[in-house]
Structure 1
Amino acid sequence: MKAKYSRYLLEFKRPSGTSRGVLHEKETFFLEVEDNGNKGIGECALFRGLSFDDRPDYEEKLQWLCEHINEDPIYLKEELKEFPSIWFGYEQAVLNLKHGNHLYFPGEFTEGKSAITINGLIWMGDIGYMEEQIQEKLDKGFHCIKLKIGVDWNSEHEILRKLRAKFSKDQLELRVDANGGFSKDEAKTVLKQLADLHIHSIEQPIKAGNWKDMAELCSETPTPIALDEELIGITDSLEKKKLLETIKPQYIILKPALVGGFASSDEWISLAEELNIGWWITSALESNIGLNAIAQYTFTKKNPMPQGLGTGSLFVNNFESSLELRNELLWFKKE
């Protein structure tokens, strides 16, 4: 096998707001492997400022992988433990080399027989922009909407209140993602206000790394809490188990690019299920290449909850997609 990598800059159609700031572009890397004329591609979906492997020697390690591509996968996995997004790209490239033609996990999904239900994601912005996005999702037939919150809680709370007045919890499932935007005391108030509005769950109400505070919130919360950034950088199996046993969240959210690919996601899912913790899978601003691989993987897990998969529509210079969104269902286009 031979391998090479390339860097690519995805440009947002419209700057996208989160509690960590406004995003204008998203850097990513592609790993291409070749064997006997067959090619496989994977996306090493680094997320600057968030990925555990956002470090100066990132490209050096990618080059190292290209030079050692024929080594035993167990050895490579150990060597790439500190570089979850590179391992994720390697997993995809090898699977794609094996199956070809945009395939990573062939099956009912890639045969166009079944689809994945996803939530509609609402980006932060002024009230007008957020309401415009919400209306667009409702018009498309979404029954589950996720809003980014944590910048201007009074306005965000008002939007949620209006939505709930219009749609009951049986008509519309509402999820929120705070990206660690609240203090512990603020979070306690917010959790109560969310419960009054029958909000499904809140992702990462406080900053990651505060296990004791998060455990306290999870033990008494009236609104289910989902861990997201909390999982980033936890690479050891025993440490994963310790985190879940200590915090006892209601849900965990798996972003394969950030937690170490499919192998690590499988491990998290297995631990969560043992501890009766719910979970779902979310993309993390990958291009259509990584998104396609995540969607195929997600389908194999057979989780009936709406999943947090993007649709690739945020970028002006994305690649042609194998995925197609019809209402709230994500389908694979066989052709």
Structure 2
Amino acid sequence: MMDRLRIDRLRIRPYDLPLRRAWRSARGGFERRHGWLVSAETDGAVGFGDCAPIPAAGTEDPESAESALLDARDFAPGRSTGEFLEMLDRGFAATPAARCALECALLDLVSQAECVPLRRMLAGDATDVVPVNGILGALATLTATDLEQAAAAGFRVVKLKIGVDEPSSEIARLMALALVVPADIRLRLDANGAWGFAEACRILDRLAGLPIESLEEPLRIPDPSLLHALQERAGFPLARDESLAGLAPDADLAELGVSRIVIKPAVIGGLRSALDLSRRAAIAGIEVVITGVVESAAGLWPAAQLAAATGSRLPHGLATADWLAEDLGVSPCLNGGRLLLSDRPGSGFKLYPDADLNPIPESRKEQSDYE
């Protein structure tokens, strides 16, 4: 199928989506999501991908992403999907968000042609249900009511951004919230590389006894030996996320210094690379969580299909649709803290007919006029 299916056209369309509230972390924040909807077309069928780079999360910058997308658009017409994927593998390592979007569009198209859900093309034993964590934003904005609402919605793990304010004030706030956290809720903390080693040690000691599910990226400089020392000190998993950017394909995952990795397909460079990394992690005894980059539904659907293919039963970081005030299509169905995936062929994404998209001109001359 990869060699028989040929691409008629590849379209690149920018989007600009407002958030319901600002996204804050130790690495900065944003109030809107900018990106490009990628669509691969053949014989009336369309496959979609989403390129939404965030350099602070480990992707390329937007300018590099757009340039890579336009190069791919010029290469695509008449190429087989297999030839196109080989081209991505050879030349797009420096632009992982663009590579991920292009690959998602191709794999969506191929799985439609094969009449299977994308997750089952990735792994025959993929599940139909993906557990997810609630995403409540920065600790400073969190209230007891937020926790109660998350519990009522069926979430058993909620994720909080820390490392934004002074450690002493954040620890005090966590200790106060711990008194009102519903009994079946655990807190997944993400420091986004906010601390030095000594500071991280002090914070871990203060977190002892609190309902912490895990802590992501505690160190500003993710030295594996220091992370290992912290993991030995902590009573819960530590995880690496954005510091996986640029990880060598043959890296020894047992030497990362942590017991969990958080895989963003847009950082790793696509679904196939992410799935391979998750399988290698499982062999090394390392837990896996799949998460996104607060992208549109066009990116959320393939990420959910990937999570279903990994076999990881941990809650994944894919309940981000409610952060967007507008979207390009309907997001995966969220019920009881789980994404429910249908048996529809492809990724599951369908574009709204009235989505606000302005195509980038499709010739280099028109492109120069556009710029």
Name the TM-score, length of structure 1 as normaliser.
Answer: 0.87
Q: What is the distance in 1 between the residues matched to 2:342 and 2:119?
A: 14
The letter for the 2-side match of 1:86 is A
Q: What is the distance in 2 between the residues matched to 1:289 and 1:159?
A: 36
Q: What is the distance in 1 between the residues matched to 2:101 and 2:132?
A: 23
Q: Which residue number in structure 2 is paired with residue 49 of structure 1?
A: 56
Q: What is the distance in 2 between the residues matched to 1:255 and 1:62?
A: 19
Corresponding position: 1:262 with 2:274: no
Secondary structure at 1:10's aligned position in 2?
A: strand
Q: Which residue number in structure 2 is paired with residue 77 of structure 1?
A: 89
The 10-residue stretch of structure 1 (175-184 or 139-148) with the greater mean CA deviation from structure 2: 139-148
Q: What is the distance in 2 between the residues matched to 1:19 and 1:309?
A: 20
Q: CA deviation at 1:92?
A: 1.2
2:104 to 92, 99, 103: 92
Q: What is the distance in 1 between the residues matched to 2:181 and 2:66?
A: 48
Corresponding position: 1:39 with 2:46: yes
**CA 307–96 in structure 1, closer or farther in 2 if over 3 Å, else same:** same
Secondary structure at 1:97's aligned position in 2?
A: helix
Name the TM-score, length of structure 2 as normaliser.
Answer: 0.79
Provide the identity percentage: 26
The letter for the 1-side match of 2:175 is R
Q: Which residue number in structure 2 is paired with residue 317 of structure 1?
A: 326
Q: Which residue number in structure 2 is paired with residue 134 of structure 1?
A: 147
TM-superposition CA deviations, 1:2-22 (whole Å, max 9, x none) = 212111122111112212223
Secondary structure at 2:163's aligned position in 1?
A: coil
TM-superposition CA deviations, 1:37-70 (whole Å, max 9, x none) = 2221111231243333216433221111112222
- Contact 2:246–2:268 (CA under 8 A) maintained in structure 1: yes
Corresponding position: 1:280 with 2:289: yes
Q: CA deviation at 1:25?
A: 1.1
Q: Which residue number in structure 2 is paired with residue 196 of structure 1?
A: 209
Q: CA deviation at 1:79?
A: 0.5
Q: CA deviation at 1:165?
A: 3.0
Q: What is the distance in 1 between the residues matched to 2:28 and 2:57?
A: 12
Q: What is the distance in 1 between the residues matched to 2:334 and 2:312?
A: 18
Q: CA deviation at 1:329?
A: 1.8
Q: What is the distance in 2 between the residues matched to 1:21 and 1:133?
A: 23
- Contact 2:144–2:181 (CA under 8 A) maintained in structure 1: no
Secondary structure at 2:206's aligned position in 1?
A: helix
Q: CA deviation at 1:294?
A: 0.8
Q: Which runs of 5 or more residues in structure 1 are unaligned?
A: 108-112
Q: CA deviation at 1:72?
A: 4.4
2:257 to 236, 239, 248: 248
Equivalent residue runs for 1:207-222 within 5 Å: 207-222=220-235
Q: CA deviation at 1:78?
A: 1.6
Corresponding position: 1:121 with 2:128: no
TM-superposition CA deviations, 1:103-155 (whole Å, max 9, x none) = 53359xxxxx942221111211645x444432321232321112111123334
- Contact 1:10–1:318 (CA under 8 A) maintained in structure 2: yes
Secondary structure at 2:101's aligned position in 1?
A: helix
1:20 to 18, 27, 31: 27
TM-superposition CA deviations, 1:276-300 (whole Å, max 9, x none) = 1111111211101110111122112
Q: CA deviation at 1:226?
A: 0.5
- Contact 1:254–1:280 (CA under 8 A) maintained in structure 2: yes
Q: What is the distance in 1 between the residues matched to 2:117 and 2:50?
A: 14
Secondary structure at 1:151's aligned position in 2?
A: coil
Q: What is the distance in 1 between the residues matched to 2:178 and 2:140?
A: 19
Secondary structure at 1:85's aligned position in 2?
A: helix
Corresponding position: 1:5 with 2:12: yes
**CA 279–288 in structure 1, closer or farther in 2 if over 3 Å, else same:** same
Secondary structure at 1:49's aligned position in 2?
A: helix
2:162 to 149, 153, 164: 149
**CA 55–16 in structure 1, closer or farther in 2 if over 3 Å, else same:** closer
- Contact 1:285–1:310 (CA under 8 A) maintained in structure 2: no
| CA RMSD in angstroms, aligned pairs only | 2.6
2:303 to 294, 317, 329: 294
Secondary structure at 1:3's aligned position in 2?
A: strand
2:245 to 232, 244, 261: 232
Q: What is the distance in 2 between the residues matched to 1:198 and 1:122?
A: 16
2:198 to 162, 185, 189: 185
The letter for the 2-side match of 1:328 is G
**CA 11–215 in structure 1, closer or farther in 2 if over 3 Å, else same:** same
Q: What is the distance in 2 between the residues matched to 1:299 and 1:247?
A: 24
TM-superposition CA deviations, 1:225-274 (whole Å, max 9, x none) = 1011110122x312x32xx3433311111111111111221222122222
Q: What is the distance in 2 between the residues matched to 1:102 and 1:273?
A: 25
Q: What is the distance in 2 between the residues matched to 1:104 and 1:181?
A: 36
Q: Which residue number in structure 2 is paired with residue 110 of structure 1?
A: none
Q: Which runs of 5 or more residues in structure 2 are unaligned?
A: 1-6, 122-126, 345-371
